[in-house]
Amino acid sequence: MSENLHFKDHHSEQRLFRNRMLVAIFGVVALLSVLVARLYNLQVVNYEDYRTQSDQNRIQVRPVPPTRGLIYDRNGELLADNRPSYTLSIVRERVKDLDATLELLGQLVELDDSDVEKFKRRLPRRRPFEPVPLRYRLSEEEIARISVNEFHLLGVSVEAELVRYYPERELFAHSVGYVGRINERELSSFSEEDVSRYRGTQSIGKVGLERSYEDLLLGEVGYENVETNARGRVLRVLERQDPKPGAELTLHLDTRLQQVATEALGDSRGAVVAIDVKTGGVLAFVSQPSFDPNLFVTGISFKDYSALRDSLDVPLFNRVVQGQYPPGSTLKPMMGLGGLAAGVITAETKVADPGFFKLPNDSRIYRDWKRWGHGKHVDLIQGLAQSCDVYFWDMAHRWGIDGMYDIATRFGLGEKTGIDLPREYPGLFPSRDWKRGARGVPWFPGDSLNAVLGQGFVLATPLQLAVMTATIANRGTHYRPQVVMAVDGIEQPPEILHHVDARPEHWDLVFEGMEAVVYSTHGTGKRAGAGLDFKVAGKSGTAQVVGIAQGEKYDSEALKERHRDHALFVAFAPVDDPQIAVSVLVENGEGGGRVAAPVAREVFFDWMSRTYEDTAMGTGWRPPMSPSALNGHREAG
Amino acid sequence: MASRDYMNRLPDTGSSLRRPESFSRRWHIDLPLLLLLLALAGVGLVVLYSAAGEEFHYVKRQAVFMGLAFIGMLIAAQIPLEFYRRWSPWFYLAGCCLLVAVLFVGVGAKGAQRWLQVGGFRFQPSEALKLAVPIAVAAYLHKRTLPPSLLTVLGALVIIAVPAVLIVRQPDLGTSILIAASGIFALYLSGLSWKMIGSAIVMGLMAAWPMWMWGLRDYQRQRILTLFNPDADRLGAGWNIFQSKAAIGSGGWSGKGFMQGTQSQLDFLPESHTDFIIAVLAEEWGMRGALILLALYLLIIARGIYISFMAQHVFGRLLAGSITLTFFVYVFVNIGMVTGLLPVVGVPLPLVSHGGTSVITLMAGFGILMAVSTERRRVLF
């Protein structure tokens, strides 16, 4: 239509313009509508999705690990503390080039291959935004070097973490135990619930109370929602659910008594257990030699570990609950009581001891430890005081194994004591059934003679002997031994496992016999009572060492020493109102009365010479529980 | 030719008008347009204040540029249209020469050479071409019979193509497209036949494949791919779009509140004070705020179109129409890009994004619109 226009026609030009512009307006409106529709789609239709996306962008949930419960001795002295330690961690999500970062870090801090290797093994187990530890225990200087280079180290962080510390070091290694890093085996055995309970926590109790009270000590994990910017820096905490700290444990253990017992053992290998007769509370728990539990907390070095593992003295071995020794003559008071209660013997029973014993119809001669015997009229008191074997053989022969087994079980032999520590061994007290099952042969009368002297098949841990002694001291009340006195200030009630029924005069007789061990002219344990202003009752024992265990290194000098008998001593004091029962084992110490009794004496001396006040004053005592509860068990001095 | 010249001559601005002159008419101010622009600039500064975070100097700098730009606009409004038309070839030629100079002695960053440095002063010649090209095309068409013949169209296309190609070489695809669009709008408004438009579209589609293969650079291709699959590479090329969509979407209808946008305040949103500023507004003020901004743009465009309708002659009409439609293209391309409808090209949101030179060019364009608007009405013949 415009073909034939050869000159400018303003009106048609204007019309043309308007025509085109109207189309353009249509386009503008259409495109603007597209934009509005797009905004509507983003902001109204998909609002929830984008809201979530933007929140996920900025909000991260971080676990806040709880503080592990502290452990105090009975006087409020700290045995397990938490101290800050600086850990180098990497958040994988934020690291662009992991290898380059590791290399750079290697120049700034000391990193050996095992650190890197462990880190790489941990890496796939953590979520990408969780920090994965690379090096523990950074020095001040290393922290400074990292912070100077922080700019190049995206995703690398130094975190302060509370780490277990055992201020008493070797002293409580076997009772309190230690924590260590959660290892792969533990991790794979975690239930779903455990995984969330341990989120943010890197340690777990490995041995001792740390292990048996793990659930209480751990506490409950908290969470915080933190807002981060695009580079992952935490800007503020939006919401926080505080973690619940783990329970505080107050132990029956007494640091000074523990020290005294340890020093009394000296360089010997052995064990000392002291039990509060009235509650079953464990006052001292010594297994020598010991080790520094702090080595294990953030991962022990291979060198340190092999030194501990390969030592001939086996310091990692908990002799108190795992050492199973023939208890020897320490069983005699219990056996005597059993004989009295069963009517096999009476106070008047006398036995002639020519220095040997013969079973009827048996040519074998059982020799007393004393070549010429203990005389023609040995009664129970003398039998205990001088540890007369023939007296007890005679009794055992008439009594039989069934009765002995019954009484031994009531005193806790042959089964776990139920102490609140892990990995306890049960020891062994043989019975007819046991022998038929385990050995496939019937019970012989000669076996009874061995059993009554705590030899042959009989095995007991030092803890079991202490419990046995405490049960005698209690006149039959058998408490479960307990290390923990109170949890978060709430006292754990003593628990009675058995009651051994015997007439009072029977107990008196046994007490008298045990007292005679310490005070009579020919008593075997005189050293246990030397210079004390209260009466001690005890019994010595000697355990034959059959042979050396397989796999130990040959060392002629050490071997000779290690063939010697173990020395044992069990005792309680004071006789008129028993407070404390002790069992002492000195490996290869030979004479129970000579070597082990003095150790018991030191324990008694320290414990009984103290009043409640100076226990409390001397050690910066803080009340972990009501003072009356503390006082209740120890009213006498 | 001579007689045509006479007919094409713009009305004599020297003649007086019979009606008494208002203040705005005397100073060539289009009051509605001025108020709308002031409102837009105000909104822009408020959003920029939030987007720039603690860096207040961005806002101050932008305010200074806006002041200068408004002065520039008023100056541009005083200049008679006849002057623009007469001098258009020289503007155009000078601009093209500068563009050639940029290719040889230009400075820049990130692999693009867009700037000329004279002493301590730096400027971007392509900005000048944003005005020079529509003026040149409008002036060229002003003298031709309309609708334009094929030859005229080809001539106009040459005028458009020369600077467009020079700018693509810098490379600056976004600006090049906008400049080409401004020229093409003038050509279109002059009455380009639908037949030609249709065949141009067909040819464009046919050229798409070779363009994709050889015409685009790798990063440009990547941007287009990202558009179709933004989730493919969230931390890489898709990051910007992913974050801006999250910002806009999470704003919802009523927004998170001024300075409360987590996406923009916590640095998740890239370029939050320049090209992606609309996402800040949409996050903090919600869809309500975004609609108000769109309404402001729509009113400004409507006023521009009204001015073009009221223009006295072809030059003014084409120029006003072209400037207005190009302004709309800015808005559409920017918002389309930030909302993930269009590939990421570096087009700022007019008068809101931080950036000095683009504000000055834009406002100079509005100055020309005012010149068209307030041109003394005279009956030709």
A42: nearest CB among B185, B248, B267: B248
User: Which residues on chain B are in Cβ contact (under 8 Å) with A233?
Assistant: none
Q: Å from A125 to nearest chain B CA?
A: 23
For residues B263 and B269, the answer to whether their CB atoms sit within 8 Å is: yes
User: Which residues on chain B are in Cβ contact (under 8 Å) with A19?
Assistant: 191
A3, A31, A42, A57: which to substitute to probe chain B, counting the most B Cβ within 10 Å? A42
Give the model's pLDDT for residue A602: 93
User: Which residues on chain B are in Cβ contact (under 8 Å) with A36?
Assistant: 291, 294
From the number of C-beta atoms within 10 Å of its C-beta (0-12, 13-18, 19+), residue A560 rates as exposed
B274: tokens are 């320049």
Enumerate the active-site residues of A: 329
Q: Is the pLDDT of residue A517 over 90?
A: yes
What pairs with residue B121 in β-bridges?
Answer: B118
Give the model's pLDDT for residue A618: 40
| More confident of the two residues B98 and B268 | B98
Instruction: Tell me, yes or no, whether A289 and A268 share the same domain.
Output: yes
The 10s digit of each residue's pLDDT in A363-412 is 788 888 877 888 888 999 999 998 899 999 999 999 999 999 999 999 99
Given the structure tokens 């001040």, which residue do they identify?
A140
Instruction: Tell me, yes or no, whether A227 and A349 share the same domain.
Output: no
Is there a domain that residue A22 lies in? no
Q: Is the pLDDT of residue B7 over 60?
A: no
Given the structure tokens 């044992």, which residue do they identify?
A568
Is there a domain that residue A89 lies in? yes
Apex CA B34: angle with CA B126 and CA B356, to 5°?
Answer: 30
Give the model's pLDDT for residue A614: 47
Q: Are residues B380 and A10, on separate chains, in Cβ contact within 8 Å? A: yes
CATH of the domain at A122: 3.90.1310.10
Instruction: Tell me, yes or no, whether A198 and A275 share the same domain.
Output: no
Instruction: Tell me, yes or no, whether A88 and A173 share the same domain.
Output: yes
For chain A, what is the mean pLDDT? 85
Is there a domain that residue A6 lies in? no
Q: Are residues A32 and B250, on separate chains, in Cβ contact within 8 Å? A: no
Q: How far apart are CA A499 and CA A471, in angstroms?
A: 9
Instruction: Tell me, yes or no, whether A159 and A134 share the same domain.
Output: yes
Domain boundaries, chain B: 81-308+318-350
Number of CB atoms found within 10 A of residue B34's CB: 18
Give the model's pLDDT for residue A274: 96
Q: Are residues B146 and A13, on separate chains, in Cβ contact within 8 Å? A: yes
Q: Is the pLDDT of residue B3 over 60?
A: no
Give the model's pLDDT for residue B380: 41
The H-or-E segment that residue A447 falls in is helix A445-452
Instruction: Tell me, yes or no, whether A238 and A300 share the same domain.
Output: no
Question: Region A274-300: what's the mean pLDDT?
Answer: 92
Question: Region A174-202: what's the mean pLDDT?
Answer: 87
Q: Is the pLDDT of residue A201 over 80?
A: yes
Confidence of residue A589 (pLDDT cuts 50, 70, 90): confident
Q: Is the pLDDT of residue A591 over 90?
A: no
- Name the domain boundary from A212, A231, A251: A251
Is there a domain that residue A50 lies in? no
Q: Could you tell me which residues come within 8 angstroms of residue A77 by beta carbon, excluding any fewer than 6 positions away?
A: A255, A619, A620, A621
A334: tokens are 């219990």
Give the model's pLDDT for residue A633: 40
Q: Does A117 touch chain B (CB under 8 A)?
A: no
Instruction: Tell me, yes or no, whether A293 and A198 share the same domain.
Output: no
Q: Is the pLDDT of residue B118 over 50?
A: yes
Q: How far apart are CA A505 and CA A340, in angstroms?
A: 10
Q: Are residues A39 and B286, on separate chains, in Cβ contact within 8 Å? A: no
A598: tokens are 């003095």
Confidence of residue B146 (pLDDT cuts 50, 70, 90): confident
Q: Is the pLDDT of residue A252 over 70?
A: yes
Q: Which residue of A has its CA nearest to B143?
A: A8
B6, B263, B266: which to substitute to probe chain A, counting the most A Cβ within 10 Å? B266
Is there a domain that residue A354 lies in? yes
The residue type at A499: H
- Name the domain boundary from A222, A251, A280: A251
| More confident of the two residues A12 and A60 | A12
Q: Which residue of A has its CA nearest to B319?
A: A17
- Name the domain boundary from A198, A222, A251: A251
Q: How far apart are CA A500 and CA A498, in angstroms?
A: 6
A230: nearest CB among B191, B266, B321: B266
Is there a domain that residue A21 lies in? no
Q: How far apart are CA A287 and CA A318, in angstroms?
A: 6
B287: nearest CB among A31, A44, A55: A44
Is there a domain that residue A589 lies in? yes
Q: Is the pLDDT of residue B135 over 90?
A: yes
Instruction: Tell me, yes or no, whether A235 and A261 share the same domain.
Output: no
Instruction: Tell me, yes or no, whether A362 and A443 share the same domain.
Output: yes
Q: Are residues A13 and B262, on separate chains, in Cβ contact within 8 Å? A: no
Instruction: Tell me, yes or no, whether A69 and A217 share the same domain.
Output: yes
Of the candidates A199, A196, A176, A379, which has an alpha carbon nearest to the alpha carbon of residue A287? A176
Q: Is the pLDDT of residue B51 over 70?
A: yes
Question: Region A565-584: what's the mean pLDDT?
Answer: 93
Give the model's pLDDT for residue B26: 79
User: Which residues on chain A are in Cβ contact (under 8 Å) with B298?
Assistant: 32
Q: How far apart are CA A279 and CA A550, in angstroms?
A: 40
User: Which residues on chain B are in Cβ contact (under 8 Å) with A6?
Assistant: 145
The 10s digit of each residue's pLDDT in A530-545 is 888 899 999 999 887 7
**Residue A269 domain boundaries:** 255-630
The 10s digit of each residue's pLDDT in B311-364 is 888 899 999 999 999 999 999 999 998 998 888 777 889 999 887 778 889 999
Q: Which residue of A has its CA nearest to B295?
A: A32
Give the model's pLDDT for residue B123: 79
Q: Which residue of B has its CA nearest to A23?
A: B189
For residues A574 and A597, the answer to whether their CB atoms sit within 8 Å is: no
Q: CA B142: distance to chain centroid?
A: 22
Q: Is the pLDDT of residue B75 over 90?
A: yes
The percentage of residues in chain A with a pLDDT greater than 70, rounded to a whole number, is 91
The residue type at B233: D
For chain B, what is the mean pLDDT? 84
Q: Is the pLDDT of residue B188 over 70?
A: yes
Contacts of A391-394 with C-beta under 8 Å, sequence gap 24+, read A391/A351, A391/A353, A392/A332, A392/A335, A392/A336, A392/A452, A392/A453, A393/A357, A393/A366, A393/A449, A393/A452, A393/A453, A394/A351, A394/A357
* Number of domains present in the structure of chain A: 2
Q: Is the pLDDT of residue A93 over 80?
A: no
Is there a domain that residue A446 lies in? yes
The residue type at A4: N
Count the residues in chain B: 381
Q: Exposure string (b/e) for B103-129, b if CB count within 10 Å is 16 or more?
A: eeebebeeeebbbbeeeeeeebbbbbb
Q: Å from A152 to nearest chain B CA?
A: 19
Instruction: Tell me, yes or no, whether A243 and A346 share the same domain.
Output: no
Give the model's pLDDT for residue A317: 93
In three-state secondary structure terms, B102 is helix
Give the model's pLDDT for residue B21: 64
The 10s digit of each residue's pLDDT in A113-141 is 888 888 888 787 766 667 788 888 888 88
The DSSP-derived string for A409-444 is: HHTTTTS----SSSS----B---HHHHHHHHSS---
Instruction: Tell me, yes or no, whether A328 and A444 share the same domain.
Output: yes
